[in-house]
Amino acid sequence: MSTYFATPSFERYVQVLDLTRQERAAKPMFLEGTGSLVLDRINHIAYVALSERSDKAMAERWASILDYKVRLRHAAIDGADRIG
Helix spans in 1-84 (H): 8-11, 56-66
Number of Cβ within a 10 Å radius of residue 37: 19
DSSP helix/strand/coil, 57: helix
What separation, in Å, do the N-terminal and C-terminal C-alpha atoms of the chain show? 50
Phi and psi angles of residue 26, each rounded to the nearest 5 degrees, phi first? -55, -40
In contact, 62 and 36? CB cutoff 8 Å: no
Query: pTM of this prediction?
Result: 0.63
Q: What digits encode the pLDDT tens for the residues 22-78?
A: 888 888 877 877 778 888 999 999 999 888 878 898 899 889 988 999 999 887 655
